[in-house]
Amino acid sequence: MGYTAARKKWRPLSASTQLIIHPASGARAIIRDTSTDGVYRFHWSVIPSEESLPIAAGRTGRLARARAIAEDALRACAEDYRMHAEVARPDLPVLDTSGS
Protein backbone atom coordinates (compact mmCIF):
# COMPACT_ATOMS: atom_id res chain seq x y z
CA MET A 1 0.00 0.00 0.00
CA GLY A 2 1.36 3.42 -0.94
CA TYR A 3 2.13 6.24 1.39
CA THR A 4 -0.15 8.94 0.00
CA ALA A 5 -0.37 12.60 0.91
CA ALA A 6 -3.66 11.93 2.69
CA ARG A 7 -1.87 9.61 5.14
CA LYS A 8 0.98 11.99 5.96
CA LYS A 9 0.44 13.80 9.20
CA TRP A 10 3.22 15.33 11.22
CA ARG A 11 2.42 15.35 14.93
CA PRO A 12 4.03 17.74 17.38
CA LEU A 13 5.76 16.00 20.28
CA SER A 14 6.95 19.24 21.80
CA ALA A 15 7.45 22.85 20.74
CA SER A 16 10.61 21.82 18.88
CA THR A 17 9.96 18.23 17.75
CA GLN A 18 7.64 16.69 15.15
CA LEU A 19 6.97 13.02 14.38
CA ILE A 20 5.40 11.03 11.56
CA ILE A 21 4.92 7.25 11.59
CA HIS A 22 4.47 4.97 8.60
CA PRO A 23 1.42 2.89 9.57
CA ALA A 24 2.35 -0.41 7.90
CA SER A 25 6.03 -0.62 8.79
CA GLY A 26 6.06 1.31 12.06
CA ALA A 27 9.09 3.30 10.87
CA ARG A 28 9.17 6.87 12.09
CA ALA A 29 10.62 10.17 11.00
CA ILE A 30 11.48 12.90 13.47
CA ILE A 31 12.34 16.56 12.94
CA ARG A 32 13.91 18.65 15.66
CA ASP A 33 14.13 22.43 15.51
CA THR A 34 17.52 23.25 17.04
CA SER A 35 16.66 26.97 17.11
CA THR A 36 19.99 27.85 15.52
CA ASP A 37 20.24 30.18 12.56
CA GLY A 38 21.21 28.98 9.14
CA VAL A 39 21.36 25.78 7.16
CA TYR A 40 21.64 23.44 10.14
CA ARG A 41 18.50 24.53 12.02
CA PHE A 42 16.28 21.48 11.39
CA HIS A 43 17.67 18.04 12.17
CA TRP A 44 15.71 15.15 10.64
CA SER A 45 16.11 11.40 11.08
CA VAL A 46 14.37 8.17 10.10
CA ILE A 47 14.28 5.21 12.48
CA PRO A 48 12.98 1.75 11.48
CA SER A 49 10.45 -0.02 13.64
CA GLU A 50 11.92 -1.70 16.72
CA GLU A 51 15.26 0.09 16.24
CA SER A 52 16.74 2.84 18.35
CA LEU A 53 19.28 4.29 15.91
CA PRO A 54 18.44 6.18 12.72
CA ILE A 55 19.22 4.74 9.30
CA ALA A 56 19.14 8.20 7.73
CA ALA A 57 19.68 11.67 9.15
CA GLY A 58 20.59 15.16 8.09
CA ARG A 59 20.14 18.87 8.59
CA THR A 60 18.61 21.67 6.59
CA GLY A 61 17.67 25.29 7.09
CA ARG A 62 13.98 25.04 6.19
CA LEU A 63 11.21 23.05 7.83
CA ALA A 64 9.47 22.28 4.52
CA ARG A 65 12.72 20.88 3.13
CA ALA A 66 13.32 18.81 6.28
CA ARG A 67 9.82 17.35 5.97
CA ALA A 68 10.26 16.52 2.28
CA ILE A 69 13.60 14.80 2.81
CA ALA A 70 12.41 12.91 5.89
CA GLU A 71 9.24 11.77 4.09
CA ASP A 72 11.28 10.49 1.13
CA ALA A 73 13.61 8.59 3.47
CA LEU A 74 10.63 7.22 5.43
CA ARG A 75 9.01 6.08 2.18
CA ALA A 76 12.23 4.27 1.17
CA CYS A 77 12.47 2.64 4.60
CA ALA A 78 8.85 1.47 4.36
CA GLU A 79 9.46 0.09 0.86
CA ASP A 80 12.42 -1.94 2.17
CA TYR A 81 10.18 -3.22 4.97
CA ARG A 82 7.47 -4.19 2.47
CA MET A 83 9.91 -6.01 0.21
CA HIS A 84 11.42 -7.87 3.18
CA ALA A 85 7.98 -8.85 4.46
CA GLU A 86 6.99 -10.22 1.05
CA VAL A 87 10.16 -12.33 0.80
CA ALA A 88 9.82 -13.62 4.36
CA ARG A 89 6.21 -14.79 4.01
CA PRO A 90 6.04 -18.52 4.70
CA ASP A 91 2.86 -19.07 2.66
CA LEU A 92 4.52 -18.58 -0.73
CA PRO A 93 4.60 -21.69 -2.93
CA VAL A 94 7.88 -23.57 -3.20
CA LEU A 95 9.02 -24.68 -6.63
CA ASP A 96 9.84 -28.40 -6.73
CA THR A 97 13.02 -28.83 -8.78
CA SER A 98 13.75 -32.42 -7.79
CA GLY A 99 12.49 -33.80 -11.12
CA SER A 100 10.53 -36.64 -9.50
Side-chain-side CA neighbours of residue 38 (13 Å): 2
- Reported as a pLDDT band with limits 50, 70 and 90, residue 36 is very high
Domain boundaries of the chain, sorted by first residue: 8-86
pTM (2 decimals)?
0.74
Distance of alpha carbon 10 from its chain centroid, rounded? 12
- Reported as a pLDDT band with limits 50, 70 and 90, residue 88 is low
How far apart CA 39 and CA 47 sit, in angstroms, is 22
In our burial notation (b when 16+ CB lie closer than 10 A, e otherwise), range 31-59 reads bbeeeeeeeebbbbbbbbeeeeebebebb
| CA-based nearest residue to 16, from 31, 37, 36, 28 | 31
